[in-house]
Amino acid sequence: MMRWAIGIDLGGTAIKAAIVCEERGILSDRTLLTEAASGSTGIVGQLVALVADLYPLGCETLDPANFAGVGVGAPGAVDAERGVLSYPPNLPGWGVVHLRDELQKRLLEKEELSIPVFLDNDANAAAFGEAFYGAGREFHDFFMVTLGTGVGGGIILNRKLYRGTHGTAGEIGFMIIDFDGPNLHASIRGTLESFIGKKGIVDLALGMIAATPSVSILGKLCDNDFTTLSPLHLERAALEGDELSLAVWKRVGSILGVGLANVAALMDIRKFVIGGGIAAAGELIFNPALDQLRCSTLPSMHEGLELVPALLGNQAGIYGAAALCFGEP
Amino acid sequence: MMRWAIGIDLGGTAIKAAIVCEERGILSDRTLLTEAASGSTGIVGQLVALVADLYPLGCETLDPANFAGVGVGAPGAVDAERGVLSYPPNLPGWGVVHLRDELQKRLLEKEELSIPVFLDNDANAAAFGEAFYGAGREFHDFFMVTLGTGVGGGIILNRKLYRGTHGTAGEIGFMIIDFDGPNLHASIRGTLESFIGKKGIVDLALGMIAATPSVSILGKLCDNDFTTLSPLHLERAALEGDELSLAVWKRVGSILGVGLANVAALMDIRKFVIGGGIAAAGELIFNPALDQLRCSTLPSMHEGLELVPALLGNQAGIYGAAALCFGEP
């Protein structure tokens, strides 16, 4: 029996969807720009259209009897049991939406498709994807950190998603590591995201540039318009040996290590999978992160500490969403 | 069937033990001073003597057929499955001890008692005690914080102890909340314990006294020998309205709130049971902690937030150790 599913990664900018075969991975995929302005009704319409496109395609080569359903990873707080999405940050005006039931209903009404739908948070879906198909395959328990515009997390315990009491577990971006400091993020002082989210990284670099303006090649890379400075510039400059950029990544890595140390102390999880666009900086981040993780934990917590890059890139969400339909990895 | 057990709380200063009846609680208890200098052999001898004293006493009124075993809560890292205690901080020279098997063996050899023994970390035992008999009875999931000389924690998920991959979960005292700050604790910078462990609290007060020496009644309370200043003095002074002491507790409470916010963000646990000697400061700590917990979390995490005092005082460990023998609460 070769099960298959449709995985959907619903983001504020794009909706990615794919036919995922449990054993062979992604067979065919689609990407649409999110019609955010059309609200939840419009976007559910986009999801229906994607399923209506991919499902018959899957049935051409795979057995419809082995179809496990449609899985959706969505931003914001998700009650996976009830299939409810609340206030997704990048989908304005959504409020509280019964996304699972709504999608099921419209698939039935519009396409006469009676299909089970599974819903979870996008960070959870990405962690589940890595657990099933990626860097977490060998780990019994691990914590996945996604470094991008924001800093997110997903937790796998005992090869299952750990969602917490209300489905909001894993919000490592909101972990406070500098409670008395100047940084604010969503009105909370000193969060991890305030330091190593995209804006935090750029602000750190700008501060260092202001202190020693002439030593970096960053100005050249962004045509001396520092309002356009991005982590990509910092990555390129660091690869060319730019001292200032190297110092930025070293600090970003060690602050990440502080956050991971807190996960290790609190949850006794010692395996970390690091993904997201910023994680492309690779060793620039990973080495100082692991060093700091060791410095910031008791020796009795060092056994088994491991930091590995995510393997599925921006497809982790699709894989994980599909895997929601398959159950435990 | 009225099950009963012997619960033992093994500490660096004292060993507390009791006959605990599953339904009626503690029936009889004993306390010995820990013969720390005698090493693990001597201390296991003390445990054997306590069991040899309490077990026949229990059998006089309770059915031996309903005896569930001996539970031990011990300081340091415990591998509950293997019954191994590693490097207990307050028991010098222990190293790695197979405490469960050792105790079972000597009970059999010396007293001809064949008794199942259960071992766990003392903070875990206290959390389990509160879950079974105390402030956590109504909570499905909760985090127990013990505020004493150190800051410890235990986690109940789904009415069971959550121990983590290696049995070290719950170490909230080692959570870093000020990674760039001056405080050190066990060579780690900015831990929660460095701020609100006993020493951190006293240091905070001494700093405030140095800044404004004449305004507090604390000098009078400790005979102007500030080397003897303790949280008890701060508690008494605060109850008499001493502004400086009130400010100390307010800051201690709000720093605790920062630590709890991190638990809420990471694990999505929103119920907190606060115990230990320092928690006797009560509302002085609880009110600012809850205020800060709300300020330091997203509004979407506020539903169900609750902070309650532990109910079992310094008997939580004995209760919990006995409850280890009964299984799930």
Nearest CA in chain B to A266: B170
CB contact under 8 A, A171 and B298: yes
- Best interface-test mutation with A: which of B138, B163, B260, B267 has the largest number of A CBs within 10 A? B267
Say whether residue A168 is in contact with chain B using an 8 A CB cutoff: yes
Both tokens of A263, joined, read 């996960």
Yes or no: say if B155 and B162 are a contact pair by the CB < 8 Å rule.
Answer: yes
CATH code for the part of the protein at A137-310: 3.30.420.40
Q: How far is A160 from chain B (nearest CA, A)?
A: 14
Measured between CB atoms, does B270 come within 8 Å of chain A? Answer: yes
**Whole-angstrom distance, CA of residue B316 vs CA of residue B97:** 24
Per the CB < 8 A criterion, the answer to whether A296 and B189 are in contact is yes
Confidence (pLDDT) at A319: 97
DSSP 8-class letter at B212: S
Q: Please tell me the distance in Å from B110's CA to the nearest CA on chain A.
A: 34
Residues of chain B contacting residue A265, judged by C-beta atoms under 8 Å apart: 168, 171-172, 174-175
Among A86, A164, A300, whose Cβ lies nearest the Cβ of B268? A164
* pLDDT (0 to 100) of residue A87: 84
In this complex, do B268 and A300 lie within 8 Å of one another by their Cβ atoms? no
Looking at chain A, the domain(s) classified CATH 3.30.420.40 span 4-128+315-326, 137-310
In this structure, which topology does domain A4-128+315-326 adopt according to CATH?
Nucleotidyltransferase; domain 5 (3.30.420)
In sign, the C-alpha dihedral spanning B218, B220, B226, B231 is: negative
B250: tokens are 């307010």
Q: Is A86 in Cβ contact with B303 (below 8 Å)?
A: no
Beta-carbon contacts of residue B304 (< 8 Å; ≥ 6 apart):
A165, A166, B270, B271
pLDDT for residue B329: 60
Is the CB of residue B23 less than 8 Å away from at least one CB of chain A? no
- pLDDT score recorded for residue A329: 60
Query: Is residue B147 scored above 90 in pLDDT?
Result: yes
Q: What would the pLDDT profile of A57-67 be if each residue is shown by its tens digit?
A: 999 999 999 99
CA angle, B7 as apex, B3 and B13 as ends, to 5°? 170
> Which chain A residues are within 8 Å of B140, Cβ to Cβ?
165
At B175, the amino acid letter reads M
Calculate the alpha carbon distances from B92 to A322, B13, B34 in Å. Answer: 53, 12, 12
User: Closest Cα of chain A to B156: distance in Å?
Assistant: 12
Window B:67-86, CB contacts with A under 8 Å: 77, 86
State mean pLDDT over B260-264: 98
A296 at the B interface (CB within 8 A)? yes
B262 min Cα distance to partner chain A (Å):
5
Q: What values do phi and psi take at B308, rounded to 5?
A: -130, 150
Q: Does the beta-carbon distance from A301 to B176 stay under 8 Å?
A: no
DSSP A166: S
Positions in chain A short of pLDDT 70: 328-329
Alpha carbon distance B253, B247 (integer Å):
10
Amino acid at B11: G
Listed as own residue / partner, the contacts of B299-302 with beta carbons closer than 8 Å and 24 or more positions apart are B300/A77, B300/A86, B300/A87, B300/A168, B301/A166, B301/A168, B301/A171, B301/B264, B301/B265, B301/B268, B301/B270
Whether residue B215 has pLDDT greater than 80: no
Answer whether B177 sits within 8 Å of A177, measured CB to CB: yes
Contact between B176 and A300 using a beta-carbon 8 Å cutoff: no
Q: What is the DSSP letter of B312?
A: S
Phi, psi angles (nearest 5°) of residue B304: 85, 0
DSSP per-residue codes, A90-143:
TSTT--EE-HHHHHHHHHHHHH-----EEEEEHHHHHHHHHHHHSTTTT-SSEE
For residue A270, the chain B residues in CB contact (below 8 A) are: 165-166
Q: Which residues of A touch B189 (CB under 8 A)?
A: 296
A295–B contact, CB cutoff 8 A = yes
Q: In what order do the strands lie in the sheet with A25-33?
A: A25-33, A14-21, A4-10, A67-74, A117-121
Q: Are A192 and B296 in contact (CB under 8 A)?
A: no
Q: Write down the pLDDT at residue A12.
A: 85
Each residue's pLDDT tens digit, A308-318:
999 999 899 99
pLDDT at residue B88, as a whole number: 85
**Alpha-carbon separation of residue B246 from A228, B253, B260 (angstroms):** 48, 10, 21
Check CB contact of B170 with chain A, cutoff 8 Å: yes
Burial of residue A264 (CB within 10 Å: 0-12, 13-18, 19+) is: buried
B288-310 residue pLDDT tens: 999 999 999 998 899 999 999 99
pLDDT value, residue B76: 83
Asked whether A30 and A95 are in contact (CB, 8 A), the reply is: no
Say if the Cβ atoms of B266 and A268 lie within 8 Å.
no
When comparing pLDDT for B56 and A329, which is higher?
B56
| DSSP letters for B138-184 | T-SSEEEEEESSSEEEEEEETTEE---SSS-TT-GGG-BSBTTSS-E
Query: Which residues in chain B are contacts of A262 at CB distance < 8 A?
Result: 175-176, 262, 266
Count interface pairs A-B at CB distance under 8 A: 145
Report how far residue B2's alpha carbon sits from residue B326's, in angstroms, rounded to the nearest whole number.
11
Phi-psi region of B198 (alpha: psi -120 to 50; beta: other; left: phi over 0): alpha
pLDDT tens, residue by residue, A82-121: 999 988 877 888 889 999 999 999 999 999 999 999 999 9
Q: Tell me, what DSSP letter sits at residue B63? A: -
| 3-state secondary structure (DSSP) of residue B135 | coil
Alpha-carbon dihedral sign for residues B20, B25, B30, B36: positive
Residue B263, pLDDT above cutoff 90:
yes
Contact call for B169 and A87, based on CB within 8 A: no
**pLDDT tens digit string along B87-106?**
887 788 888 999 999 999 99
> What confidence category does residue B23 fall into, taking pLDDT thresholds of 50, 70 and 90?
very high
pLDDT at A328: 67
Chain B interface disruption, residue of A85, A171, A192, A260, most B CBs within 10 A: A171
CB nearest to B175's CB, from A153, A188, A265: A265
Q: How far apart are CA B288 and CA B176, in angstroms?
A: 20
Other C-beta atoms within 10 Å of B303: how many?
10
pLDDT of residue A232: 94
Strands (E), chain A: 4-10, 14-21, 25-33, 67-74, 77-79, 84-86, 96-97, 117-121, 142-147, 151-157, 160-161, 184-185, 188-189, 271-275, 306-309
* Cβ atoms of residues B137 and B322 within 8 Å: no
Q: Would an 8 Å CB–CB cutoff place A199 in contact with chain B?
A: no
Is residue B49 within 8 Å of residue B39, measured between CB atoms?
Answer: no
| CATH 3.30.420.40 is right for the domain spanning B138-310 | yes
A258/B contact by beta carbon, under 8 A:
yes
Sheet-wide strand order for B142-147: B160-161, B151-157, B142-147, B271-275, B306-309
Q: What H or E segment, with its residue span, contains residue A45?
A: helix A39-61
- Give the per-residue pLDDT at B18: 98
H/E element holding B25?
strand B25-33
Nearest C-alpha in B relative to A189 = B296
Instruction: Give the Å distances, CA to CA, from B293 to A261, B191, B309.
Output: 21, 17, 16
Residue ranges of alpha helices (H) inside B169-302 are 192-196, 198-211, 218-221, 231-239, 243-267, 283-295
**DSSP letters for A190-216:** TBHHHHHSHHHHHHHHHHHHHHSTTS-
Quick one: average pLDDT of B214-238? 91
Q: What is the pLDDT of residue A88?
A: 85
Interface test with A, best of B179, B270, B294 (most A CBs within 10 A): B179
Q: How far apart, in whole angstroms, are the C-alpha atoms of residue A252 and residue A230?
A: 14
* Residues of B in Cβ contact (< 8 Å) with A176: 177, 258, 261-262, 296
List, by residue range, all CATH 3.30.420.40 domains of chain B.
4-128+315-326, 138-310
Q: Name the β-bridge partners of A155.
A: A143
Are A326 and A3 in contact by the 8 Å Cβ rule? The answer is: yes
Q: Give the residue on A whose Cα is nearest the Cα of B195.
A: A179
Under 8 Å between Cβ of A17 and A11? no
Instruction: Using an 8 Å CB-CB cutoff, list chain B residues near A174.
Output: 261, 265, 297-298
